[in-house]
Amino acid sequence: MPENGPFRLPITILTACAAILLALVAIKVIRKVVRDRRRAKIRANSPRLAALRSLNSQFEFHPELSRVFVRDLDSKRQYDRFDPLECLLGMFIESPDEFEGWLLDAEENESLLSEYEVGLQDIPRHSYQKVSWAMMEDELFEEELLRPETEPTVTIEWRYTSPAGRRRYLDEEVFSFDEVRGLLRESRKIAKGRSTRQAQIRRERALMSDSLRYDVLRRDNFTCQICGSSAKDGVRLEVDHIVPVSKGGKTEMGNLQTLCERCNRGKRDKV
Ligand SMILES: [Zn+2]
């Protein structure tokens, strides 16, 4: 068969290649089977791994603390002007308790981790003489070792997709744990100052008593200190803080004056 002649050699080579390939695959499969069985054996019998598992069971770390917040924006302009820091501070103000809890979880992870590390030192060394077995044991140990997040990050992602999805814009900023902690403390201080100021305003308003009001009216001869009108002219007289309480004014004779309703309103409109 002369037409077969030229093909004989290539077919032999192909057959040989296929045989080699098959052998390689078989070796790979066998190696994997052997490896898996060895891993299973070590996993089941290694005192080192058993000790690790027993230690692990005593620790409950807070899982997955790093956060990603995504902001979808309505225009390219908003996208260009987006300030991730401002966004983060806004979230602190909106839900301070959530971030407070997040911070505590991370700090708790950190202190638990140092206890865990002390526990790790008591775990027995390699259980196997053979290097390949000892290495596999190490590999399994690494796999089962707990790695809690102690310095989680906060990522702010902002994006904008133009109408019909023609263009997509995406950017992100990652805040480190220390940055977030520092910013959170700072914003807490600001919030605390604000609430102290509000409490002070409430206190000053509460100090305004009927008798004090009367003392001011009497001192001012029951006349408006701006236009001079009095109750005889049919106006309603009010007692006004010269420096408003909201601007730090005190509720005391020196900072109080009699005004008619109209002048008082005029003053308020100016402020
Ligand atoms: Zn008046």
Please write the tens of the pLDDT for every residue from 112-151: 999 999 999 999 888 888 998 999 999 999 999 999 999 9
The SS3 of residue 64 is: coil
Domain boundaries, the chain: 47-201, 207-270
**Cα of 255 from ligand 1 centre, angstroms:** 17
Least confident of 68-72, 172-176, 243-247: 243-247
**Cα of 261 from ligand 1 centre, angstroms:** 7
Strand arrangement, sheet containing 67-72: 67-72, 154-161, 168-175
What confidence score (pLDDT) does residue 28 get? 95
pTM (two decimals): 0.60
In the beta sheet, which residues pair with residue 176? none
Rg (CA), the chain: 38
What DSSP letter does each residue of 82-116 carry, written as one string? --HHHHHHHHHHH-HHHHHHHHHHHHHHHHHHHHH
- Of all residues in the chain, the percent with pLDDT exceeding 90 is 69
What is the average pLDDT across 99-121? 94
Q: 263 vs 108, 185, 244, CA distance in Å?
A: 59, 44, 15
- pLDDT band at 10, cuts 50/70/90? confident
**Cα of 235 from ligand 1 centre, angstroms:** 8
Question: Which 8-state DSSP code applies to residue 157?
Answer: E
**Cα of 223 from ligand 1 centre, angstroms:** 8
Question: Which 8-state DSSP code applies to residue 223?
Answer: B
**Cα of 201 from ligand 1 centre, angstroms:** 26
**Cα of 200 from ligand 1 centre, angstroms:** 29
Those residues whose C-beta lies under 8 Å from the C-beta of residue 44, and which sit 6 or more positions away, are: none
**Cα of 221 from ligand 1 centre, angstroms:** 13
Those residues whose C-beta lies under 8 Å from the C-beta of residue 135, and which sit 6 or more positions away, are: none
- pLDDT band at 1, cuts 50/70/90? very low
**Cα of 263 from ligand 1 centre, angstroms:** 4
**Cα of 232 from ligand 1 centre, angstroms:** 13
- How does the average pLDDT of the chain come out, rounded? 90
Strands 237-241 and 168-175: what pairing?
unpaired
**Cα of 209 from ligand 1 centre, angstroms:** 22
- pLDDT band at 268, cuts 50/70/90? confident
**Cα of 246 from ligand 1 centre, angstroms:** 22
Least confident of 12-16, 115-119, 146-150, 241-245: 12-16
**Cα of 231 from ligand 1 centre, angstroms:** 11
